[in-house]
Amino acid sequence: MPRKRASPVPIKRLKVENLRNIALADVVFGPQFNFIYGINGSGKSTLLEAIYMLARARSYRSNRFGSVVRQGEKQLQLFAETEHFQKHRIGLQKTSSQTKIRVDGNNIKRVSEIARITPLQIITPMSHEILDRGPEYRKRFIEWGVFHVEHNYFKCYQQFYKALRQRNALVKIGQTDIDSWNISVGELGERVNEYRESYVEALSVKFKEESEYLNPNSNYNLIWKAGWDRSKTLYEVLNGSVVSDIKRGFTQHGPQRGDMKIFEGNRCVEQTLSRGQQKMLIVTLHLAQASLYKERTGLSPIVIIDDLISELDLDNQKKVLDRLLDQACQVFITSIDNIQYIKPNLRKDFVISSGLIKAL
Ligand SMILES: Nc1ncnc2c1ncn2[C@@H]1O[C@H](COP(=O)(O)OP(=O)(O)OP(=O)(O)O)[C@@H](O)[C@H]1O
Ligand SMILES: [Mg+2]
């Protein structure tokens, strides 16, 4: 009888050198649930930070190299063996002056290349920023999805922002003769928005499906705001706002002002939901993204969850873990307390103490 092929492990092996309190670690993860336990300050979030840095070349907790490199050291190094669509070896070396990324032995210039091969959803206690901070946070969330499922989007996005920077530079110096820039920002902006709008439309369907399971008594709606008056073309809006843009010193309308709103009935959720309900809503959004990603690409993204699971009540914990299991995501979860719910054959447990990691 042919032997069943072992399922690929998206992040199979991780080596960490000089990241915060982790001097040296070499860890082999499981394909499904990876639970990381330890007391406060033991290094749980640091381990997740290492995974995140390998996927995005920066930390999700600090922009300062001095904060993330182990005190007294000048360089930090990370390495991972991954297998998502293909097997890869990713290396990252950071000093105060430079970041070197290598994939399969080749130097990589663009962070988008490692982001593409390690699609990562991250949920932390800071994730409620999606609800209660500025549109920037919600846009970034949507951008992740469009980037990963629409491979032509990134180029279009870059061209749009390049053209927008040019237009901004001209309105800043009071230039009124900018019709050619109104045309290019207008055209590229319409395209960027079309990608986003059709992504949010598909995401709304997944969001409803996930919500039925995770928030059964709710009736949430996702709405995308383009960033300009949609009864007109962006070109018309830009053309009509040259004088007031010059007064303000920047381009006031366009995809750079795009935003996602979440309503329950006719009320915006950030004003009405309890903290726990907000956390469930955030998880629902991420699971909807994971589900859409899987539908479009055939594989699930990697999910890292810092602390949040243990902040949910038991019933909600189970629902979230069940959905992650159904979607076959490789998951990394930090927690102070043991999370019992998942069966032994679907999990690997680690304990971390003063930066030293041990598989249980
Ligand atoms: N640059 C650094 N060099 C050395 N140690 C650091 C550095 N930055 C942070 N630390 C220490 O690393 C430890 C691990 O921090 P981390 O945030 O990973 O802990 P944690 O296990 O997630 O804790 P909590 O349960 O409170 O979230 C902390 O004790 C922190 O003081
Ligand atoms: Mg932590």
pLDDT digits (tens, 9 = 90+) for 105-148: 999 999 999 999 999 999 998 888 888 888 888 999 999 999 99
Token pair recorded at residue 146: 């469009």
Q: What is the DSSP string of 115-176?
A: HHHS-EEEE-GGGGHHHHS-HHHHHHHHHHHHHHH-TTHHHHHHHHHHHHHHHHHHHHTT--
Cα–Cα distance measured from residue 17 to residue 207, given in angstroms and rounded to the nearest whole number: 39
Counting as low any pLDDT under 70, the low residues of the chain are 1-6
Structure pTM? 0.93
Cα–Cα distance measured from residue 333 to residue 128, given in angstroms and rounded to the nearest whole number: 18
Whose CA is closest to 331, among 341, 316, 321? 321
Residue type at position 338: N
- Check: CB of residue 322 under 8 Å from CB of residue 305: no
Domains detected in the chain: 1-119+302-360 (3.40.50.300), 128-300 (1.20.1050.90)
Pick the ligand that lies closest to the CA of residue 124. Answer: 2
Instruction: State the residue for tokens 């309900």.
Output: 277
What is the distance in A from the centroid of ligand 2 to the CA of 49? Answer: 10
Q: What is the DSSP string of 118-134?
A: S-EEEE-GGGGHHHHS-
Residue 5: what pLDDT?
A: 57
Residue 2: what pLDDT?
A: 55
Residue 4: what pLDDT?
A: 55
Residue 7: what pLDDT?
A: 72
**Nearest protein Cα to ligand 1, atom 12:** 21
What is the distance in A from the centroid of ligand 1 to the CA of 18? Answer: 12
Cα–Cα distance measured from residue 339 to residue 360, given in angstroms and rounded to the nearest whole number: 14
- Of the residues 16, 17, 36, 46, which should be mutated to test ligand 1's pocket, given the most ligand atoms within 8 Å of the CB? 46
Cα–Cα distance measured from residue 354 to residue 44, given in angstroms and rounded to the nearest whole number: 10
Q: Is residue 80 helix, strand or coil? A: strand
Secondary structure letter of residue 15 according to DSSP: E
Whether 42 lines ligand 1, by a CB cut-off of 6 Å, is yes
**Nearest protein Cα to ligand 1, atom 30:** 41
What is the distance in A from the centroid of ligand 1 to the CA of 347? Answer: 25
Cα–Cα distance measured from residue 237 to residue 255, given in angstroms and rounded to the nearest whole number: 12
Cα–Cα distance measured from residue 127 to residue 288, given in angstroms and rounded to the nearest whole number: 15
Length of the chain: 360
